């Protein structure tokens, strides 16, 4: 029936056209740090940086906002990337031994939602090559590519292989130059006998082009031999007979010497003098972190400076026994020596230095290190080599993201104050970073989400209110003096980066946030039942925090909380820095994780819910208004805290037993057949049988006795008609996991209709906020209530607090009857108010077999008609698709596939903006931004000025600008060459992430 209705509606051409103008689904840009990076490259001419990932993606970054993404057809790890400098092309080597050529291509203008869009430059694969196996050699690993070298002239690609052969490809045609191929035999012939000693030279480990003489390359073999090879004459100019296993090579700028790094943690400097054809010994050889065995130096860079001594940068080389597990990179110049200590693995690094041939010195300005979890930039021109904040690629996940929240249309005043608070913080952070650990958890980070690059604004830590086991204040004093420490310690470690996966205390984790952008009040609620109200202040303050405890169990008997304890308060908290400062702390008892929170700043009320019940608190008068227990008497699970330990222990035990059994079975061939082994066999067979048994699903209606039925899922404040159709007033709505909805009528002094006066006259205590239960709705299908929102007489959602009273939004229609939208996991339903009777509904689960995960009321603007917009209900299901329904008719409009249904964390992390965009986590470190609106889209539309013509479009039409990537100074970073374009951009959106 529904299908028919839908189909019939679909045939209306007028409506179809409007829908096309309103809705369009696009995944626009990924924010954050690429998940599992595996390769790094830099183009000094275009100032582009490219990062390849294990999933086969290539991302090019230019100035903030300039981004290009390409995805290989196979999801194979990108192992190397090389730019064709200045051409807007790059070569990538994949783990499956294929080489791909990518190119920035201008696109044709296209029509989206009736609006013409300019052509956009995109990254596209144009060619690929697979090195064929050599006939006669069975092992395919012989032609496995180990290194690539692209000559400066960009017309020849040198390939080093596992088998020790070097091959040469013409670029960009990617055709093999057969006659050029250099096999190991050719080299070994010219070796002195005592060096040859019958052993192979091993794979090619490094290829480096001579910095001054074109056509000469340095070939380094794994065994230690380095050959200076002349490509034109096909002759080995010089041989360097290294004895240590080679890891990498680097030329000095003049070409007079080169440096090799080795497996034993040492590096050697070799002189290149033309008079000798065979150099048996290096000029010098050093093991910096010896004398005990060290790990290999994976990569080494040697940069000359005007000031004199060269700058030496290398990764690895740590003493194996003591610091073998550290991820380190050493910077060394003269006596200055710093060992950068990272929290994750070093993937690759490069320096930004002058590349012009005329210049005599490298003079590196910055070091860029790609780590597994973040990108770190070091300023090499400032003494002490401090790290620079990156303009983008900020690690969102420096501590795991627990929830996020998007706020659009931030008033300029709040914006400004936030930025100021953030700036003040950055200054402090630098000082702190020197000190050492940055154990942050329970933080709220504010990000500027207006552009393509998500930039950090301000960080709020809630941890300083509480006393944790490893209190940072104790350790800070110790670490305050970095000089003292450095003298004592060898190697001179310096902690760099902010990725910190270890949290001090999981209870600090934040579950829900709510911000009122007009009154600058912020509510943050956490895992241990803590609800904190913050106010924004520009001054430092040392006021006392008010604490209030609310018992949500309401003296229910027979329950004991087995979960975690509440957080202990710090007796003397340090003064609160400018920014958001805590005003009131409400502690829910039992201290279960907060599952819902609502803030109404105009009435000075906060509401919060846990798995036991919900509470209402007046933070202005500092008194508890209401506590309501929602527990079902039979629900035992709710009492055991967030994890049922008993169950999981049992499960893990069972699993480990099974594992033991299986391992025994695998070794049974050797075992003698005894009765016991037979029993084991039978057991194993049983276990296996259990594994293959088909999955069964029980078909049973939800019952009131289901576990965790009392969890409060959503809370909402609304000024509406609950008592009768003539008097409206403040109300509070709460929905639970078992499909119950409680509606309370609130008496807020000074708010709502004239009822207040008469009531106040009767009672002296009328100055307090009061709550009276008005309605209790039990949804028949008992599915969890995902969201409640009240609609005004026109069927539009009520405006936020202050919006109506301060004329920031059109006032809600209070003359016609209101209605309430209750979205459960199974159904969407609109009830009329005050008599709660069902008006419209859509049974999503019954029809589609999918369950509602997230809903949002979104306003969609037409892409063509200036002032036409529609309120639409957007609904994300457990299958990862988006369903859009009109309001309040709840008729389905469109459906888009958005997230893979297996990506549970992606679905759980999804947030919507008020104008039809959204974000979800594609990986622990990246947000995918998408747009459902045909009008409101934020995506990178970038253009690049190149020597070559971008195909298929005249120059005049596209927006041209030379993007620059610059880390020279901090101020450089702030000024942006943003050329992304965002259609319809009246807002300054803000995204908050919680850790």
Partner 1 sequence: MSRPQSRIGIKLHQHVIEVKSKFEAEYRRFALKRNSHGGFQEFYHLLQSLHLIPGVEVLLGYADIHGDLLPINNDDNFHKAVSSANPLLRIIITKKEDEPEVFGTNSLQRRKKGLGLTGLRTATIGSTHSRHKPSLLIGQPQDFRQISSIIDVDILPESHRRVRLHKHGTHKPLGFYIRDGVSVRVTPQGVEKVPGVFISRLVRGGLAETTGLLGVNDEILEVNGIDVVGKSLDQVTDMMVANSHNLIVTVKPSNQRNNVTHRVTKSSGSVGSAGSSGSARDSPSPAAQSNPITASNSIAEGDSEDEEDDCDLIMENDSLLTHQVINSNLRDSHDLRPLPQSISLPNSMAASMISNHNGNSEESLREDGNIISL
Positions that interact with partner 1 (CB under 8 A) = 1-4, 625-628, 694-702, 723-724, 745, 763, 765, 768, 770-781, 783, 826-827, 829, 836-838, 843, 845-851, 879
Beta carbons of 457 and 425 less than 8 angstroms apart:
no
Query: In sequence order, what are the residues at sequence separation of 6 or more whose Cβ sits closer than 8 angstroms to the Cβ of residue 950?
Result: 88, 104, 105, 106, 121, 943, 944, 958
Decide whether 149 or 844 has the Cβ nearer to partner 1.
844
Measured from the CB of residue 745, what is the shortest distance to partner 1 in angstroms?
A: 6
Please tell me the distance from the alpha carbon of residue 360 to that of residue 695, in angstroms, as a whole number: 71
CB of 625 to partner 1, least distance (A): 6
By beta-carbon proximity to partner 1, the closer residue of 332 and 707 is 707
Instruction: Give the span between the Cα atoms of 433 and 404, in whole angstroms.
Output: 26
3-state SS assignment for residue 594: coil
User: What is the distance between the alpha carbons of residues 889 and 68, in angstroms, rounded to a whole number?
Assistant: 41
User: What is the CB-side half-sphere exposure of residue 681 using CA atoms within 13 A?
Assistant: 11
Nearer to partner 1, 226 or 625 (CB): 625
In the bound complex, what is the minimum distance in angstroms from residue 695's beta carbon to partner 1?
6
Which residue lies nearer to partner 1 by CB, 4 or 502?
A: 4
Which is closer to partner 1, CB of 837 or CB of 956? 837
| Least CB distance to partner 1 at residue 691 (A) | 15
Helix (H) or strand (E) holding 573: none
770 vs 961, beta carbon nearer partner 1: 770
In the bound state with partner 1, the residue whose beta carbon lies nearer, of 169 and 627, is: 627
Cβ of residue 686: shortest distance to partner 1, in angstroms?
19
In the complex with partner 1, which residue's Cβ is closer, 297 or 777? 777
User: Closest approach of Cβ 506 to partner 1, in Å?
Assistant: 30
Of 763 and 805, nearer to partner 1 (C-beta) is 763
For 706-747, the three-class secondary structure string (H helix, E strand, C coil) is CCCCCCEEEEEEEEECCCCCCCCEEEEEEEECCCEEEEEEEE
**Phi and psi torsions of 867, nearest 5°:** -115, 25
Burial classification of residue 397, based on how many CB atoms lie within 10 Å of its CB (0-12 exposed, 13-18 middle, 19 or more buried): buried
> 114, exposed or middle or buried, with CB in 10 Å at 0-12, 13-18, 19+?
middle
Minimum CB–partner distance for residue 339 and partner 1 (Å)? 52
Q: Which is nearer to partner 1, 32 or 615 (CB)?
A: 615
Q: What is the DSSP string of 896-961?
A: EE-S-TT-HHHHHT-EE-TTSEEEEEEETTEEEEEEEESS-EEE-------SSPPTTS-GGGS---
Cβ 827 to partner 1, closest distance in Å?
8
What is the spatial distance between Cα 610 and Cα 464, in angstroms, rounded to a whole number? 23
Cα angle 65-71-76, degrees, rounded to a multiple of 5? 130
* Shortest separation between residue 749's beta carbon and partner 1, angstroms: 13
* Cα distances (Å, whole numbers) of residue 230 to 152, 183, 215, 222, 814: 15, 14, 6, 20, 86
**How many CA atoms lie within 13 Å of 149's alpha carbon, on the beta-carbon side?**
25
- In whole angstroms, how close is the CB of 10 to partner 1 at the nearest point? 17
Nearer to partner 1, 424 or 624 (CB): 624
Q: Measured from the CB atom, is 243 or 839 closer to partner 1?
A: 839
Query: Is 417 in a helix, a strand, or coil?
Result: helix
b/e per residue 226-254 (b: at least 16 CB within 10 A): bbbbebeeeebbbbbbbebebbbbbbbbe
Q: How far apart are CA 954 and CA 119, in angstroms?
A: 10
Residue 630 CB, nearest distance to partner 1 (Å)? 12
Distance of closest approach, residue 628 Cβ to partner 1, in angstroms: 7
Hey, what are 955's tokens? 């120059």
Least distance from C-beta 658 to partner 1, angstroms? 22
Q: Tokens for 90?
A: 């790059």
Q: Cβ closer to partner 1: 319 or 834?
A: 834
Q: Is 306 left (phi over 0), alpha (psi -120 to 50) or beta?
A: alpha
Beta carbon nearer to partner 1, 20 or 753: 753
Q: For tokens 């239960």, what's the residue?
A: 773
CB of 645 or CB of 847, closer to partner 1: 847
Q: Report the residue number, 160 or 752, with the smaller CB distance to partner 1.
A: 752
Instruction: Tell me how far the alpha carbon of residue 828 is from its chain's centroid.
Output: 32
Least separation, in Å, of the C-beta of 692 and partner 1? 12
The torsion of the CA quartet 410, 416, 421, 422, rounded to 10 degrees, works out to 80
As measured in angstroms, the least distance from the Cβ of 626 to partner 1 is 4
- Shortest spacing between CB 553 and partner 1, in angstroms: 13
Token representation of residue 685 = 């067979």
| DSSP output for 190-228 | TS-HHHHTT----SEEEEEE-SSSTTEEEEEETTSEEEE
Residue 820 contacts by C-beta under 8 Å, 6 or more apart in sequence? 718, 720, 733, 788, 789, 790, 791, 830, 831, 833, 836
């Amino acid at each position: 029936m529904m299908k028919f209705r839908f189909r019939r509606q679909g045939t209306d051409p007028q409506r179809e056209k409007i829908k096309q103008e309103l809705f369009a689904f696009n995944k626009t840009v990924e924010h954050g740090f690429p998940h599992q990076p595996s390769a790094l490259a830099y183009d000094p001419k275009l100032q582009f940086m490219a990062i390849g990932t294990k999933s086969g993606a290539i991302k090019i970054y230019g100035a903030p906002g300039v981004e290009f993404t390409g995805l290989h057809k196979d999801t194979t790890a990108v192992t190397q990337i090389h730019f064709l400098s200045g051409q807007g092309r790059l070569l990538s080597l994949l783990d499956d031994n294929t080489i791909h050529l990518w190119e920035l291509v201008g696109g044709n203008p296209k029509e989206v939602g009736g609006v013409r869009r300019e052509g956009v430059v995109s990254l596209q694969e144009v060619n690929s090559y697979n090195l064929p196996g050599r006939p006669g050699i069975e092992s395919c690993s012989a032609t496995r590519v180990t290194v690539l070298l692209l000559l400066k002239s960009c017309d020849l690609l040198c390939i080093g292989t596992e088998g020790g052969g070097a091959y040469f490809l013409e670029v960009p045609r990617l055709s093999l130059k057969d006659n050029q191929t250099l096999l190991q035999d050719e080299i070994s012939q010219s070796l002195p006998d005592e060096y040859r000693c019958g052993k192979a030279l091993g794979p090619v480990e490094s290829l480096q082009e001579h910095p001054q003489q074109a056509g000469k390359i340095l070939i380094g073999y794994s065994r230690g031999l380095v050959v200076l090879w002349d490509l034109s004459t096909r002759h080995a100019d010089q041989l360097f007979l290294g004895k240590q296993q080679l890891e990498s090579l680097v030329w000095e700028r003049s070409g007079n010497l080169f440096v090799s790094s080795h497996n034993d943690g040492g590096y050697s400097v070799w002189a290149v003098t033309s008079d000798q054809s065979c150099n048996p010994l290096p000029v010098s050889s050093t093991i910096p972190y010896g004398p005990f065995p060290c790990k290999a130096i994976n990569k080494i860079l040697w940069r000359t400076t005007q000031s004199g001594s060269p700058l030496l940068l290398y990764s690895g080389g740590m003493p194996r026994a003591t610091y073998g597990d550290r991820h380190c990179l050493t910077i060394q110049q003269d006596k200055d020596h710093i060992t950068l200590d990272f929290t994750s693995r070093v993937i690759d690094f490069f320096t930004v230095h002058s590349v012009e041939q005329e210049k005599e010195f490298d003079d590196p300005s910055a070091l860029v290190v790609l780590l597994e979890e973040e990108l770190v930039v070091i300023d090499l021109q400032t003494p002490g080599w401090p790290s620079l904040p990156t303009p983008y690629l900020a690690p969102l996940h420096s501590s795991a993201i627990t929830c996020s929240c998007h706020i659009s249309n931030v008033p300029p005043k709040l914006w400004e104050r936030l930025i100021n608070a953030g700036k003040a913080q950055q200054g402090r952070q630098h000082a702190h970073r020197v000190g050492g650990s940055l154990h942050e958890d329970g933080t709220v980070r504010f990000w500027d989400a207006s552009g393509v690059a998500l930039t950090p604004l301000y960080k709020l830590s809630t941890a300083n209110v509480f006393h944790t086991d490893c209190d940072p204040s104790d350790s800070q004093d110790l670490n305050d003096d970095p000089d003292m420490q450095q003298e004592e310690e060898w190697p001179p470690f310096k902690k760099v980066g902010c990725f910190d996966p270890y949290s001090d205390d999981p209870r600090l984790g934040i579950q829900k946030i709510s911000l009122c952008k007009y009154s600058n009040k912020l509510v943050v609620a956490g895992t241990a039942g803590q609800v904190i109200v913050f106010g924004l202040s520009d001054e430092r303050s040392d006021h006392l925090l008010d604490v209030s405890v609310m018992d949500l169990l309401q003296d229910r008997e027979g329950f004991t909380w087995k979960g975690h304890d509440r957080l202990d308060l710090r007796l003397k908290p340090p003064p609160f820095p400018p920014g958001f400062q805590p005003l009131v702390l409400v502690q829910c008892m039992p201290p279960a994780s907060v599952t819902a929170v609502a803030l109404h700043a105009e009435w000075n009320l906060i509401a919060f819910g846990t798995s036991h019940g919900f509470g209402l608190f007046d933070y202005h008068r500092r008194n508890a208004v209401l506590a309501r227990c929602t527990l079902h008497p039979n629900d035992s699970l709710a009492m055991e805290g967030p994890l049922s330990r008993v169950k999981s222990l049992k499960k893990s035990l069972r699993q480990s037993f099974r594992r033991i059994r299986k391992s025994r079975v695998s070794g049974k061939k050797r075992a003698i057949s005894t009765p016991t082994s037979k029993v084991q066999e039978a057991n194993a067979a049983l276990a296996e049988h259990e594994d293959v048994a088909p999955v069964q699903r029980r078909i049973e209606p939800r019952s009131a006795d289901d576990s965790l039925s009392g969890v409060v899922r959503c809370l909402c404040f609304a000024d509406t008609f609950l008592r009768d159709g003539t008097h409206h007033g403040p109300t509070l709505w709460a929905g639970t996991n078992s499909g119950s909805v409680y509606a309370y009528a609130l008496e807020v002094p000074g708010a709502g209709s004239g009822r207040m006066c008469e009531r106040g006259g009767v009672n002296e205590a009328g100055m307090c906020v009061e709550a009276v239960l008005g309605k209790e709705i039990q949804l028949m299908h008992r599915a969890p209530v995902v969201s409640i929102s009240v609609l005004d007489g026109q069927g539009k959602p009520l405006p936020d607090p202050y919006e109506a009273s301060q004329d920031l939004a059109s006032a809600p229609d209070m003359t016609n009857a209101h209605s309430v939208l209750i979205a459960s996991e199974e159904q969407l339903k609109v009830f009329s108010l005050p008599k709660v009777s069902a008006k419209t509904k859509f049974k999503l689960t019954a029809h589609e077999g999918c369950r509602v995960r997230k809903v949002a009321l979104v306003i969609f603007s037409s892409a063509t008609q200036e002032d036409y917009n529609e309120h639409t209900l957007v609904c994300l299901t457990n299958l990862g698709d988006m369903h859009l329904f009109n309001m309040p008719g709840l008729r389905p409009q469109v459906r888009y596939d958005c997230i893979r249904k297996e990506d549970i964390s992606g679905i759980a992390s999804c947030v919507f903006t008020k104008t039809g965009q959204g974000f979800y986590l594609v990986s622990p470190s990246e947000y995918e931004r998408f747009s459902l609106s045909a009008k409101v889209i934020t995506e990178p539309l970038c253009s690049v000025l190149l020597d070559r013509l971008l195909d298929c479009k005249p120059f005049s039409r596209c927006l041209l600008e030379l993007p620059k990537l610059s880390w020279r100074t901090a101020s450089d970073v702030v000024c942006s060459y943003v050329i992304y374009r965002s259609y319809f951009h009246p807002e300054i959106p803000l995204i908050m992430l919680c850790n």
